[in-house]
Every structure is written in C-alpha cells, then in structure tokens.
Structure 1
Amino acid sequence: MDVSPLVWTLTVLGILGLLAFDYFFHVRRAHVPTLREAAIWSSLYVGIALLFGVGTLVLGGTAMGSEYFAGYITEKALSVDNLFVFLIIMTSFRVPREDQQKVLLVGIVFSLIARTGFILLGSALINTFSWVFYLFGLALLITAGNMFKPQTEESHSAQNVVVRISRRLFRTTDHYDGDKLFTVQDGRRVMTPMLLVMVAIGGTDLMFALDSIPAIFGLTQNVYIVFTATAFSLLGLRQLYFLLDGLLDRLIYLSYGLAVILGFIGVKLVLHALHENNVPFINNGEHVEVGEIGTGLSLAVILVVLVITVFASLFSTRGRTQTAMANARRDATAYLDSEYTRDPDERERIFKRLVESRDHIVALGPKAKQIVKNEPELLELCRLAAASHERAMADGQHPVASFHDGGPSPLDSSKYPRPPSSLDGSGSQT
C-alpha cells in the first residue's frame, strides 16, 4: 500500500503535536511526576499507538498491520532496555528529580530526529543495494551476541567521548542552576551539567539507533511503517521511565530476550538477502532457494520471547535481590544528595523504598554476600541515610513523622551497627 503525501503530512504533524503537548503541559514546569500521573499518561500513549495500529490494520491490510505491530513491539522493548542506561546516566550526573523529565524529552526528540535520518538512509541503501540486508543481518547477530554478555551498572559509562571533549573545550560547573544549560560563575558564562547530560543521552541514542533501525527493517521495508512504529515507541517513553522507576533493574533477563529477538531478526534478514541475492561470489550472483520467515511468525516469536523473559525476571529471586540492591544504592545516594530534589514528598518516597530494599538485603543473611556486591558499603550508605533522615525528622523537615507510628527509624544505626569494612564518615575506604 502506497502512503499519500497527505497521510505523511498529517502523521508527522500529529507526532509533532504530541511532542509539543508533552512539553508545554507537562515538562515546561519542573516537577516530580507521581506514579498515578506517569501511569495515566503512559497508558494514553500506548493506547494511541495501538489505535494507530488498528487503523493501519483496517486501512492498510493484514500484512501492513502485522508489520506495524511487530515493529512497534520490538522497538518498544528495545526502548525499555535503553531506559536502564538512561537511569545510569542521570544517576551519574546527579540530575535533580524535578528536571529529569526535560532531559528525557530532549533525548526523545533527538532520538526521533536521528532515527528519522537513519531510516531515510537505510531505505535509500536497501533500494539501491540489496546486499545491505547482509550487513544489517550481520550487525544484528553481532549485537545479539554482545547482549548475552553480563551487563551491570559498572559496564555503562555516562562519561562518553562527546562529554569528555565538551569538558575539555568548555568551562563547566559541578552544580545545576535549575534547568538552565548555561549559568554565570565568577563572572564568566559556563555550561551546567544539564547540557552535558543531554549530550550524553543524545550520544547514547545514536548508538541505540544503530541497533534498532536494522532490527525494524528486518521486519518491514515499508518506510511509513518503520517511521511510525519507531516514533510511537518513543512517545510516552518519558512517562514509562517514571512508571518503571525501581523496577528496571528487576528485568534481569530482558537483555537476553532482546538478544534472542535480534538474533532471530538477523537470521530473517540473512535469509531475505540470500533470496534476493545478487552478490557475485555467492551462488554466482543468483538468488538462493531458501525459505523466508513471514511477518506473522515474527510477531508470534517476538511476543512469546518477551512474555517469557519478563515473567522469568519478575519471579526471579535474583531479580528481586538485584532490584533491592540497585534501589538501595541509588536511593541512599540520592537521599544524601542535597541537590537531588526540593520536594519533601519525593525524599520521603525514596527513603521508604530504601527501608524496604535494605530489609530485603538484611533478611537474606549469608546469602546476601553471594548475590549483593559490596554489601558492607551498601549497608553503610543506608546507615548514613538513616542518620540524615532522623536529623531531618527532629528538625520537622519531613511531612511523615515516622514509619512506625512514632517509633524509631527503620534504619536506626543502633539496630544495624557499622560493618567492619565499610565507608567512614568522610566517604573514604577504611
């Protein structure tokens, strides 16, 4: 089905309108979104994407509709996996909670622009050189192999090349000035970390596009479907980030599931390349009689793999422990950071989650030493956060007096003494 220029124009205007609405009605005013707010708007954007898919199915036919849903689900799953890296970047740069929405929206807009460029380039290459399918398939197979390697927070770095160059070429400050990209320090105009974190996320988005665009071209070569599936998978990603906050680390098998999906699409691309072959040194430039994988089967495989990996992650003891470990470390660090948020309710929320995470780790007993890395340092961070919370409660700075109806703090350091190999008060290793 050919898509008319009018449909293209209306689609692009609709997507731009949703981005503008997102900015002016949600992101422009810095605030910490509640779980309810994130759930409502995330559901709305997913609903819009599904309705668009139904419309494509009705107006464009079964094949076109199936290609859209296969592409959308794959791109959405890849986007969720990318949120884990965004979380690491914003934690590394200590982005204030109120301003994280703007950073994410800028990253989404940059990603949409970059991926549109990659889509147009990929389409031009495919229409000109059929052997490009070999390259796309090989790239996905290599990516799938790399995703089977264990990945932790330490395996990602927010300090990418662009950020390091920016720090060398320009004067930067270590502190934020609201959501400003530049500020004045000692009479000189300098960059704030806000601009650097946007550069880091933008640079990371470019790397993500190198994986996601070949993946969706492996499911469909219809440029309209590739563009809309990619765009709708990115819309609502900001709300999804806050909705899944605290659960991202629990999806410990998601990367393995995505590796299987990307490997499957890589094989699909290679089979298609063999079928369309005109490379002289392969079968003398003639096409190879091989079976091809249909869109319906692709959609079924994608759904089954995602369901299995998500449920396996959610019911995994190791997944729950890894979530508790990551949440405890991030929440304690954020609670001790005076610049993390100005919202007392947000501080109370992360402290309550810190209590739950710490209790889970302590309840493991000796098992924690096998699963949790740097357990003494982690418990020391909890102790320091507890002391800070008790001082704030004594000064009347928190809206919630206590979690035990007037009793002692759940992280009272007298209950959990300082571990022998922990951090001292100055933050240095003992």
Structure 2
Amino acid sequence: MTRPIPTSVKQFMAKVEALCGDQHPDWALNFKTSFANTLETTLKTYEDGTSFLLTGDIPAMWLRDSTAQMKPYLFLAKEDEEIRKIIAGLVKRQFRYICIDPYANAFNEEANRKGHQTDRTQMNPWIWERKYEIDSLCYPIQLAYLLYRETGSTDQFNDDFHRGVELILDLWTVEQDHAQSPYLFERDTWRKEDTLTHAGKGSPVAPTGMTWSGFRPSDDACQYGYLIPSNMFAVVVLSYLEDLYNNLFHNEPVATRAKQLKEAIQSGIADHALVQNSKGETIYAYEVDGLGQFSIMDDANIPSLLAAPYLGFCAKDDPIYLATRRTILSQENPYYYQGNAAAGIGSSHTPENYIWHIALALQGLTALDQDSKKEMLDLLVATDAGTHLMHEGFDVNDPYQYTREWFSWANMMFCELLLDYLGFSIAP
C-alpha cells in the first residue's frame, strides 16, 4: 500500500532539505524518508470523507498514534486543501470511533473482530483493543482544535464530534470516582502490565478531583490510578473545548462543564501530584493513588512528565517542571538508561536498557536552547541502525538491536523536532 505524495508535501520536503544544507544531509535524508512514510504507507482515505491511519506494523488505528502521525502535516494544511481534508477526515473517524466506545484505545478499519477479542471487557467487532487511557481521548480533541486554529477548518466538527465530546466529559466525570465506573479489563497473559488487578478494576484509589486511567500511553497498566501527565493533557484539551464551545459553537452549558472539569483536575494535580525527589526538590509524581502512594519515574510515551510544556500544560522554564525534568533524566527514573551509544528514557513496554526515539525527540522539543535540539537530532540519526527511519526502543549500547521496524509515530516525532529546530513550530 503506497500512496502518491501530494505536490505540496514534495515541495515542503525540498524546502526542508535546502534548509538542512550541506551541514546536515543526514537530517535531510531521515526527514525525507520519515515525512513521506506516513502518507505513503499508513494512510487510507474513504469516499465518506474519513481517513484511517495504521500505526505501522500493527494493522489497527490508535487514537493517540494517529494524531501524532498527522500533527506535523498541519504546517501544510492551511494552504493545501487535500492535506486539510485528510486531517479533518482523520478527526471524523476518531470521533466516530469514540462514539462506538470511548473506553477503547485502538480500532479496526472495519467491524472485522480483529485484535484482542478474548479480553474480558466489553469488546465489539470494531475494537482492536479496549485498554482505557485518558490520552486516547485527549489527542483527537487536540487535533480537531489545532486544525481549526491553524487553518480555520470547521469541517471536522460534525455530529459525531459533538456527541463524542459529551461522551468524553461524561466519562472523565465518572472516572473522578472510579468506584462508580462500569469499566473492567482483564487479559489472560504472563505480562502483568497487560491486565488490571482487583478483578479488572485496577489498584484502589481515592477521589482527588483528577480523572482515573487504567493504562499508560505505553499501553501498560497504571500502577496507581491517577496518571499525572495524562491529567495534565486533559487540562489542556478541556481548555480547548472551553474555547470552542464559548466562541465558536456558543454552547455555554458544554463550555461550563469543560471549565469545571478542568478546574477540578487542575486542583487535583496541585493538591496530590507534587512530591519530593531525592534532593528534596518539589517535582511532579508520575502516578498517585490519592491514598498516599506515588511513583517517581517517567515513560518514553507521550503524554509524559517530560512532555508537560510540549503539550501546553506549563512553560519550558517552569521551576517545578525543570526540577522534574532533571529528575527523570537521571538514574532516579528507573527507566532512564545510559550506554555507549546513547542515554535517554525507555519504557516498561520494552526491554531493560532500551530507550525510545520518541523520548529523545521530545527531549529536544522541550529543550531551552538550539544546541540541545541539535544534539538530539544528531543522536536520532546516529541511532537509526542505517534505516533512515526511527524505531520504538533500541539498546543504548547497540542501536542495531531495536524494536518495531515500522513505527510511524516515532518517525513523525523526528520530523517535528527537525521542523521545530528550523523554525516551524505549532504552539500547543
């Protein structure tokens, strides 16, 4: 499945290649390969105006990944109607899926019963996987809003969008008190990260104002139910909804619901997420349970604590963020690994000593200076195992040992960092 690339994309790729110049031909080559790869190999468009994006080597569409895969094309969407329609079509399909089941994280192209159909949860033929992750609902709102803000497009705001927003607000409100939730998830597996404890309910939590998540953006189970980076992302996208429903749709009841939920989650983060690192500095925990337990760590997948300013929750120079950043980019984070070839953040989802290209790109995107961004770009191309594409995780001592040969999200994160370095950035 290889699609032709729109002329505007070819022209933009040539522009980026020229900006890389003779100094960085490796950056240009990786950009050319990665930026084309998503459109050529993962995208399908339909006569109903919707778009479907494979995550890569898994034949399903993740609500999270598909947004990240499309986000760098927003630079072209204002001038290029075809790209604009592709992105609007993706938003339409995302919200169609959310209307089918807002607890699901990944969907099939058709109602074909593919995926994890034996999981003990409320599966249906459309669902590839039903791991509930807050960010699966944040990302489609983000893409819908940024498309509107950057291009003026309103085509994505159909009936499914409005119904989906109501479902999201309902779900996040229910999950402020997880004891009242209908959601259960169990999988017969040797991997404890792939199932929820306590008969599918997850570890006990107390209400905090934040909203509960069963799984992390790595698709691994939360240790404690309030995942701070995802609650941060929820605060940001709820502010997007507040703006849309006040100023575009003129629907005060929905705007008020979004505002109240945003403020409750913000208060929950302020009251429960701040802890002390080993040096006694105030930092954000990764997860808390409202009962006094918390984890100091970060995971490569986004939303992460490292991503807080990238997502729009805080400024890059926020003191608590900077203290958190220093902590998670150190041995205090159990998923921070250093080796002969690289150092960075990995995940419970991949082997020990494997770090992720996504996290390296994000480290660059959240850096305060151009030199740090350049350092990450050089590291990314130096660890691509000669493929000119990004991967999932790779061994810090041997980048030729890696997971996922075809991982579109990582490719587009490299593109986003390079574009940011060259002055093309989309504010959150």
TM-score range, shorter chain: under 0.3
Higher relative contact order (CA 8 A, sep 6+): 1
Query: Scaled by the length of structure 1, what TM-score is found?
Result: 0.27
Q: Counting strand residues as a fraction of each chain, which structure ranks higher?
A: 2
Query: Scaled by the length of structure 2, what TM-score is found?
Result: 0.27
